[in-house]
Amino acid sequence: MGKKSAKDKNTKDGALWSQEPWQALRAGTLGPIAEFDPDRTPGFDGDREDGEKLLAQYGEELSDLQEMLFAQGRSGGTRSVLLVLQGMDTAGKGGIVRHVGGLLDPQGLAITGFGKPTPEELAHDFLWRIHKALPRAGRIGVFDRSHYEDVLPVRVHGLVPESVWSQRYDLINEFEAELTAAGTTVIKCALVVSKDEQKTRLAERLDRPDKFWKYNPGDVDERAYWDDYLDAYQAIFDTTDTDHAPWFVIPANRKWFSRLAVARLLLQTLRGLDLSWPPADFDVAAEKQRLAASD
């Protein structure tokens, strides 16, 4: 019989976390984003192998909780979850969608990517396209980019006047407060890579035909605005890291860690909903009898 090592036991649940990501990665408690080290794995004492094992374990509980949320949505419940993902190019948003979203049942997931606004979207208020993509009751929504783009590239490149974008922080807080009051639990994750790591990842895209589709020549131009983007992220954390819609800063130089951390945050969010199976809206004993009596 194989003896379980102490390490194996530790991977059971939260033991490898000396501090939960909920605390260790909360934007408001970290220092300036410009000094953030994307190589670190704050709060986590394990290595890559531990992290990958844990991620798979989280998958089981995540999908159970997701099914309960879905069942409640089917039974008149109003709750849903929204995971907002932001990050510079190559930060790994797509990988989170694939690897964390991949632990969940696609039926209960609503994934939306937000690219450059279409003319129709530009003709509306910046939250118009966001409203249309909100998760219905029982669903877990994932935004790959979000309304925060309207205070990121839009601010950095002055796509609208400052008098317009500067008002958006308050508008976003109001919007998210309404959203949470209506039953949606919101968590926001900003994936942070270092400028060097981004260069490595862009170079890899140029070396691999299977990655050309991800490469956008404009991404290189954006690197010249790195510090402006950091300022724009700092402004977001300073103004929109609220208790009802908290921001977490995810170090993303190590993909295994960013995936694990986001999965843990999502798991804690779902646990926090205190979900239960909806009770039957029929007489169970009577139905058993009817079934037994049927042909």
- Residues in touch with ligand AMP (CB under 6 A): 89, 114-117, 145, 149-150, 153-154
Q: Which is nearer to Mg ion, 70 or 143 (CB)?
A: 143
| Residue 220 Rama label (left phi>0; alpha psi -120 to 50; beta) | alpha
Q: Which is nearer to Mg ion, 50 or 89 (CB)?
A: 89
In the complex, minimum distance from the CB of residue 255 to ligand AMP, in angstroms, rounded to a whole number: 17
In the complex, minimum distance from the CB of residue 276 to ligand AMP, in angstroms, rounded to a whole number: 37
Residue type, 49: E
Q: Which residue is nearest to Mg ion (CB)?
A: 89
CA 157 to chain centre: 25
In the complex, minimum distance from the CB of residue 187 to ligand AMP, in angstroms, rounded to a whole number: 20
d(CA 77, CA 67): 13
d(CA 65, CA 269): 10
Q: Which is nearer to Mg ion, 89 or 241 (CB)?
A: 89
Q: Which is nearer to ligand AMP, 30 or 235 (CB)?
A: 235
Q: Which is nearer to ligand AMP, 125 or 287 (CB)?
A: 125
Q: Which is nearer to ligand AMP, 107 or 118 (CB)?
A: 118
In the complex, minimum distance from the CB of residue 216 to Mg ion, in angstroms, rounded to a whole number: 5
Tokens matching residue 93: 């948003």
Pairs from 26-32 (Cβ < 8 Å, separation ≥ 24):
26/241, 26/246, 26/247, 26/248, 26/249, 27/190, 27/237, 27/241, 27/246, 27/247, 27/248, 27/249, 28/237, 28/241, 28/246, 28/247, 30/249, 32/234
In the complex, minimum distance from the CB of residue 133 to Mg ion, in angstroms, rounded to a whole number: 19
Site for Mg ion in 63-122 (CB under 5 A): 89
The binder of 161, among Mg ion, ligand AMP, none, by C-beta within 5 to 8 A per type, is: none
d(CA 214, CA 203): 11
In the complex, minimum distance from the CB of residue 156 to Mg ion, in angstroms, rounded to a whole number: 15
Site for Mg ion in 144-183 (CB under 5 A): none
Q: What angle do CA 75, 289, 283 make, to 5 degrees?
A: 30
Residues that bind Mg ion (CB under 5 A): 89
